[in-house]
Amino acid sequence: MKLQDLDILVTAPPAPGWGGRYWILVKLTTACGVTGWGECYAASVGPEAMRAVIGDVFARHMAGEDPANIELMFRRAYSAGFTQRPDLTVMGAFSGLEIACWDILGKALDRPVHALLGGRTNDRIRAYTYLYPDARHDLPAFWGDADAGAQVAADLADAGWTAVKVDPAGPYTIRGGHMPSLDDIATSVKFCAKIREAVGTRADILFGTHGQFSTAGALRLAKAIEPYDPLWYEEPVPPDNVAAMARVAGSTSIPIATGERLTTKAEFAPILRTGAAAILQPALGRVGGLNEARKIAAMAEVYNAQLAPHLYAGPVEWAANLHLATAIPNILMAETIQTPFHDALIHGTIRVERGFITLSDAPGLGIEVDEGLARAHPYTGDRLHLEMQEAPCDYTAPNLFGGGAPPERT
Catalogue the active-site residues. 210, 310
d(CA 46, CA 381): 10
Q: Give helix 182-199 / helix 146-158 axis angle, nearest 10°.
A: 30
- DSSP state at residue 330: T
Total residues belonging to the chain? 410
When computed from its CA atoms, the radius of gyration of the chain, rounded to whole angstroms, is 20
The one-letter code for the residue type at 403 is G
The CA–CA distances, whole Å, from 314 to 26, 199, 260 equal 12, 28, 15
Identify the three-state secondary structure at position 256.
strand
Q: Give helix 315-327 / helix 290-302 axis angle, nearest 10°.
A: 40
The one-letter code for the residue type at 185 is I
Consecutive H or E run containing 155:
helix 146-158
Contact between 352 and 127 under an 8 Å Cβ cutoff? The reply is: yes
d(CA 190, CA 192): 5
d(CA 288, CA 293): 7
Contact between 235 and 211 under an 8 Å Cβ cutoff? The reply is: yes
d(CA 192, CA 173): 23
d(CA 236, CA 258): 9
d(CA 305, CA 344): 35
84: left (phi over 0), alpha (psi -120 to 50) or beta: left
Consecutive H or E run containing 7:
strand 3-11
* Helix and strand counts by DSSP (H, E) for the chain: 13, 12
Residue 314: φ, ψ to 5°? -95, -175
The one-letter code for the residue type at 26 is V
Residue 168: φ, ψ to 5°? -100, 10
Report the first-to-last Cα separation within the chain, whole angstroms: 49
